Amino acid sequence: MLDQADKLRQLVRETVKEHTVLQPGVPMVAVSGARGGVGASAIALALALELAQLGKRVVLVDADLRAPRLTRSLSSSRNGGLADVMNGRRAVSEVLEQITEGVQLLPGSDVANEAAEFNPRAMNRMITELRSLTNIADVILIDAGAGMNPWVERFWTASLQILLLCTPQPSVVMDGYAALKLAPWVDVDGKLHLVVNQCSDPVEGMRVSDSFTSTCRRFLGMKLLGEAAVLPSEKQLSSGAATLSLRSPFRRSLRLLAADLLSQTHMVKGRIDPPQSRSHESGLQAEVLLAAVAQEFSA
């Protein structure tokens, strides 16, 4: 009996080692673009800020090796970043930068600095470190970049949920399908959530969603996670806007996406926690960042 129990424990350990999504700790969510320039980085930041507004602690990882936009716009890069973690020179906790209350950034690798390279063992170590941040984080949001390659694939397989962003343009939708086709189906089936952004109206977004979902089911035998999130273009902001009202269509859609993410990743127990107490200055900083994201998103 003891021998059978030992074998069972060994089987569990091997399964968890092979499928890191089963590891305990902070849940991870990957945000990817069907192609570059569709707004994945902006939406990853906006989601992080929205989750913080809902009282969650977020670690935002800039893992877009080709275009580390979050690092370029938000990071001071004083303590190192992703490349240092991958190379074992720094621990994740040593390079995190506070962006606003509730949101910390793991900076990426800018083009002028050393780039992180794909190394399965180093990636496993980094993912384990990220999951262990239970004292400072409720969710890890990863800006994984665009398309599909071994780097993006590793983040997809390790995440509890994948947000794949596309726009209504047919060529962008096809790029999203191509990325999904190259992904490891067994590790993606049932956890990919399509996000159709820059939509002129909800009908356009749902049309794209229905077509994409049907194609994945018919030709890949793959089921997506729930209905697609539709994010409208934000046309209500003036160039000098400092805040983004909850009545804004973009903000309402973003909050619904954040609430759905919380529900799907089991970070709430039947309710959304009320926002944590925060200073007026910190809250205003988050609102200004959200407004800037919306303006970039609609540009």
Identify the residue whose tokens are 């900083």: 285
Q: Is the C-alpha dihedral spanning 180, 185, 188, 194 positive or negative?
A: positive
Q: With beta carbons less than 8 A apart as the criterion, state whether 127 and 47 touch.
A: no
d(CA 284, CA 197) in angstroms, rounded, equals: 25
Q: Which residues, listed in sequence order, are joined to residue 165 by a DSSP beta bridge?
A: 33, 195
Report pLDDT digits (tens) over 129-175: 999 999 999 999 999 999 999 999 999 999 999 999 999 999 999 99
Per DSSP, helices labelled H in the chain are: 2-18, 40-53, 69-74, 82-86, 92-95, 120-131, 150-158, 170-182, 185-188, 202-215, 249-264, 280-298
Structure tokens at 159: 């995440």
Q: Check residue 214 and give its pLDDT.
A: 92
**25-298: CATH topology:** Rossmann fold (3.40.50)
Q: What is the pTM of this model?
A: 0.80
- Domain-wise residue ranges, the chain: 25-298
- Return the minimum-mean-pLDDT range out of 16-20, 65-69, 127-131, 261-265: 16-20
Amino acid at 194: L
Entry field: residues in the chain: 299
Half-sphere exposure of 32 (CA within 13 A, CB side): 31
Q: With beta carbons less than 8 A apart as the criterion, state whether 118 and 6 touch.
A: no
∠ CA 57-135-95, rounded to 5°: 75
Structure tokens at 78: 């004083």
Residue 263 has pLDDT above 70, yes or no: yes
Report pLDDT digits (tens) over 209-252: 999 999 999 998 888 988 899 998 765 433 333 345 667 888 88
Burial of 198 (0-12, 13-18, 19+ CB in 10 A): buried
Helix axes 202-215, 170-182, angle to 10 degrees: 30
Residue from 113, 37, 102 nearest 71 by CA: 113
Structure tokens at 118: 């794909």
Q: Which residues, listed in sequence order, are joined to residue 194 by a DSSP beta bridge?
A: 164
